Chain A
C-alpha cells in the first residue's frame, strides 16, 4: 500500500500511457471512440491534428487548410491548459519506450553524450526549413511518433468484409456489378503489422541505450520542442517549497529533462519554469520531504 502511495503519479502516468495505446487499438471494438493515429485522429468524431504536423503541412504544401488548423488548435488549447510537454510525458509512446531504454542505459551505456540544450531548437528550425525547401513534410517522413502509431493502429484494423458476405461497416459498394469469384480471397480479420519503418524507432532506442540517455526526447524531437515552446505560457507548473526542501537532489536522478530542477532546488525560483519539464511528476513521487507539488501558476509572483 505504501509503495502505491509512493508511486501514485508514476502509476497514474503509466495508466494514461497505456490507454493511449488502447485508444489506438480501439477501432477493433467498433465503438467509434477513436480512429487514426497520433499524427491525426478522430476522437468521438472530432478531428485532431498534431500541431507540428499541421505546421509542417503548411510549410511544405504552402497552403492553409482550415479543418486541419482547427484540429491542431484544439490540441494546442488542450496542451496549453495541461502544460505543453504533458504530451511527451503522458501520451507519446516513444517517450514510454525511451523510459525503458533509459533503464537499460544504466546497464549497457558506453557513453552518455549530451548535446547542448539548445540543439532541439536548431533541429526544429532545420526541419521546418527543409520542409520549405523540399516542399515535403520532412519530419513526418521519419517521425517515430507517426511510425509507431501507424504500426499499432493500422495493423489490427483489418477489414472484416468479404465479397458475398454482408458488409459490417457503413460503406457500401458502388452499384456496379462485378463478379466476386474473381477476387482474391486473401482477406483476414486482423494481422500484426510490422512495417520496416520501425527500424527507425529501433535506431532511436538503441542510441538511447548505448550512447546518449533519452537523446531523441531531450535533444531532437521537434514535436517535443513545439510543446516546449507552448509550455512556456502554460499555467500548470511544479512548485517547490524551499523550507521543506533539504537539497538532497534525489529528484535530479528521476528527472528526464534533468536540468529543469536545478534552478528551483538551488533556490533561485519557486517554480519549475523551464518548459522542457514534461510534468511527469516523478520528482513529486520521489521527494522524501514532500517539498514539491503541482499547482497553477497564474499570477506572476515576486521571488523572495
Chain B
C-alpha cells in the first residue's frame, strides 16, 4: 500500500467513524436531566411521542425562550425546551408556541396561558434565600406574573432580633405555571428558588384541603 493511499484511507475512515460514532453514541446515551417544555405540553412521554421535531414553536417564540434540543440531548434532539436561568417563559397572552404546533404535542385547548403547567417553583435553598434571612429581597414575589396568587408573602417575626419581619415567599402549587421568571430573577448565583417538575400526588391534594379547611 502506498503511503498516500494509507493516509487517504485513515482520514476517510476516521472522519466517518468519528462523526457517525459520536452521533449515534450521543443519540442513544441516556440523559437524566429534566427538560422543561413549552406551555400546554403533554406529559413527558406522550410529548416525546407526539412531537414531530419540526421546530415551529421555537421559531415562533418571540422571546427566544424555547431552545432546540441537539445531539447531546439524546432522545430530546429537535424538541423545544426551556432553560429558565437563561430566558424564562414570558407567558404571551396568545401563546404563539401552541398556535404553531402542527400536532397535539402542545395542547391546543389551552387558551389561558396562566393555566399552563410547565413545572412548579420551589424554594430549594431555604438557607440561602435572602428573604428567609430577613433581608428585604422578595424579588421572586414581585416578578411573578401571578403576583399574590402563585407566590404570596408569609410575614412572621424574625427569630434573632425579635423586632424585624421575615417576608417569606410561599409558592402555591395549584396556581404556579412554572414560567421560571422567579428563577431567572433570583439574585443568587445558585438560585434559592428553582422550577421543578410538578408532581401531582395525594399528599398535595390533602395539603390543599387542609389549608382550605383552616382558612
Contact = CB atoms under 8 A, between A and B. Distances in A.
B104 A137 contact: no
Interface stretch (B139-147, B156-164, B194-202, B203-211): B139-147
A211 B20 CA distance: 13
Interface of B: 8-9, 12-13, 15-16, 19-20, 22-23, 26-27, 45-46, 48-56, 58-64, 68, 70-72, 75, 77-78, 86-87, 90-94, 96, 100, 102-104, 113-114, 139, 142-147, 181, 184-185
A247 to B, nearest CB: 36
A141 B53 contact: yes
Contact of B143 (A142, A146, A178): A178
A212 to B, nearest CB: 11
A136 B91 CA distance: 28
B78 A147 contact: yes
Interface residues of A, number: 71
A41 B55 CA distance: 9
25 contacts: A35-B100, A36-B59, A37-B56, A40-B56, A49-B102, A57-B50, A57-B52, A135-B45, A137-B52, A140-B78, A146-B53, A150-B68, A150-B78, A171-B93, A173-B90, A173-B93, A174-B91, A178-B143, A182-B139, A196-B26, A199-B22, A199-B23, A203-B19, A203-B20, A209-B12
B87 to A, nearest CB: 6
Contact of B104 (A63, A171, A199): A63
Q: Chain B binding site: helix, strand, loop or mixed by DSSP? A: helix
Contacts of A173: 90-93
Given A178-B144, A195-B68, 17 more contacts: A40-B52, A40-B54, A40-B102, A49-B102, A56-B52, A61-B104, A63-B50, A135-B49, A146-B54, A150-B58, A159-B63, A171-B96, A174-B90, A174-B92, A174-B93, A179-B185, A196-B70
A122 interface: no
Given A136-B48, A136-B49, A171-B62, A71 B16 contact: no
Given A63-B50, A154-B68, A207 B16 contact: yes
The 6 closest A-B pairs by CB, nearest first: A176-B145, A40-B54, A39-B54, A210-B12, A203-B19, A196-B71
Interface of A: 27, 35-37, 39-42, 47, 49, 53-54, 56-57, 60-63, 65, 67-68, 71, 108, 110, 135-137, 140-143, 146-147, 149-150, 153-154, 157-159, 161, 167, 169-179, 182-184, 186-187, 193, 195-197, 199-200, 202-203, 206-207, 209-211
Nearest to A72: B102
A176 B118 CA distance: 18
A206 B144 CA distance: 50
A62 B86 CA distance: 35
A61 B49 contact: yes
A137 B49 CA distance: 6
Nearest to B64: A159
B184 A197 contact: no
B198 to A, nearest CB: 20
A63 B104 CA distance: 9
A286 B48 CA distance: 47
Nearest to A210: B12
A177 B181 CA distance: 12
A154 B15 contact: no
Contacts of B27: 141-142
Given A61-B104, A141-B75, A174-B114, A35 B49 contact: no
B195 to A, nearest CB: 16
B19 A206 contact: yes
Contact of A154 (B19, B23, B58, B93): B58
A35 B100 CA distance: 9
B131 to A, nearest CB: 15
Contacts of B102: 40, 47, 49, 67-68, 71
B33 to A, nearest CB: 16
A49 B100 CA distance: 12
Contacts of B54: 36-37, 39-41, 49, 53, 146, 150
Contacts of A158: 64
Nearest to A170: B94
A65 B16 contact: no
